[in-house]
Copies of this chain bind each other. A is one copy, B any other.
Amino acid sequence: MTFTALATPTLLLEKEKLMANIDRMQASANRLGVRLRPHSKTMKSARAAEALMASGARGITVSTLKEAGYFLEHGIKDITYAVGMVPTKLPEAASLMAAGADLKIMTDSVEVAGVIAAEANQSGIGYKLLVEIDCGDNRGGLQPESEELLQIVKLIENSTARFQGILTHAGHSYGVNNISEIEKIAAQERDAVVRAATRLREAGYAVDTVSLGSTPTALYAKDLSGITELRAGVYTVFDMDQQARGVCQTDEIAMSVLSSVIGHNKAAGKILLDAGGLALSKDRSADKFRPEVGYGQICNEGGEVMPGLYVTSVSQEHGHVRIRDVNDYDLFPVGSRLRILPIHACMTAAAYDHFNIIENGVLAGKWDRVNGW
């Protein structure tokens, strides 16, 4: 398998692996009896979203309002923007709703909820609000027992805006590397948001959406009673970070960076690539469990994993590969090409405006992506 038509560095996507990963997660959602609302933060691609919808997904999650606009242009209306709303972004949200988006926005701030309620009353716009719950990740979100949770919902319900439900994300599921720990965190994630829903219902509020998810917990949760929807994103392509945590196998990773060998520094024992920090990202998420993987796992151009060969360091446009022995120079002469399995697919993909699709072992067109804000 060679890709001489492509200039390097560039992004490859193996369609068969993507489809298998999509089906694996949809089967998990079906098994758990919840709706799947994939997070588009990894793929940011309308064609990928089409494949997700065809497999059974309903609606999408986005990480930027620009993504929301892109997907709306491609006919996807049911969109949850799962990053905290701020008042200055409300006009953009209103524009998306006016253009037909069924947009859900999110906050964990009483002050922001107050502004949303006031803006809704003034404009008549029925903003749909989710409240973020912290299930132990310590990123965004209110504690399930917090007083502010009730304050926010009261503010919204007394306005033209609508309270849609609650949402949490167990980002700390990325901090462990065995399935039994992931199962525990999945239960914690569920308990936090179910507890918050129960408190709100006891206070007399309807809670339509009870949403959670992360790739590890979504794949390994045992029971999601009380949950209405699952969100996850990186599972579509996986990466070496997920592999290091035991969440996927190396051969399930569907995305790679095609790179050229631009030099052999024999004095330093290195092969140099034209894929560096910009082409791969400087993410080192796999360090906790597999520090040797560095900035990516090397495969040959056909995609076969080269055990023990990694991008050991990067500068802006250079990837440095410490050779295993001098035979590696013959294996990868200057001008030859290889593939790199990324550490964190979401970060790596963001450097590219399209995927080169590989299907049945040959190039099969491009899928565009949206980046930026």
Q: Which residues of A contact B (CB under 8 A)?
A: 4, 7-10, 41, 63-64, 83-89, 92, 107-109, 111-112, 115, 132, 134, 138-141, 143, 171, 260-265, 267-268, 270, 272, 274, 277-279, 281-284, 315-318, 320, 333-335, 346-347, 350-353, 371-373
Q: When the two chains form their complex, are residues B263 and A63 in contact, meaning their CB atoms are under 8 A apart?
A: no
Mostly, the A contact residues are loop
Known contacts A265-B140, A347-B282; is-contact A83 B317 (Cβ 8 Å): yes
Specify which chain B residues have a CB less than 8 angstroms from the CB of A84 in the assembled complex. 262-263, 272, 274, 334
Residue in A10, A112, A139, A261 whose Cβ sees the most chain B Cβ within 10 Å: A139
Residue in A115, A261, A373 whose Cβ sees the most chain B Cβ within 10 Å: A373
Q: When the two chains form their complex, are residues A64 and B140 in contact, meaning their CB atoms are under 8 A apart?
A: no
Copies in the complex: 2
Known contacts A111-B333, A111-B334, A334-B111; is-contact A139 B373 (Cβ 8 Å): no
CA of A315 to CA of B87, assembled, Å = 22
Known contacts A8-B373, A41-B316, A267-B134; is-contact A262 B111 (Cβ 8 Å): no
Specify which chain B residues have a CB less than 8 angstroms from the CB of A315 in the assembled complex. 139, 171
Specify which chain B residues have a CB less than 8 angstroms from the CB of A347 in the assembled complex. 277-278, 282, 316
Q: When the two chains form their complex, are residues B10 and A373 in contact, meaning their CB atoms are under 8 A apart?
A: yes
Q: When the two chains form their complex, are residues B372 and A351 in contact, meaning their CB atoms are under 8 A apart?
A: yes
Q: Which 5 A-B pairs have the closest CB atoms?
A: A84-B262, A138-B268, A109-B334, A282-B282, A84-B263
CA of A107 to CA of B92, assembled, Å = 49
CA of A151 to CA of B52, assembled, Å = 55
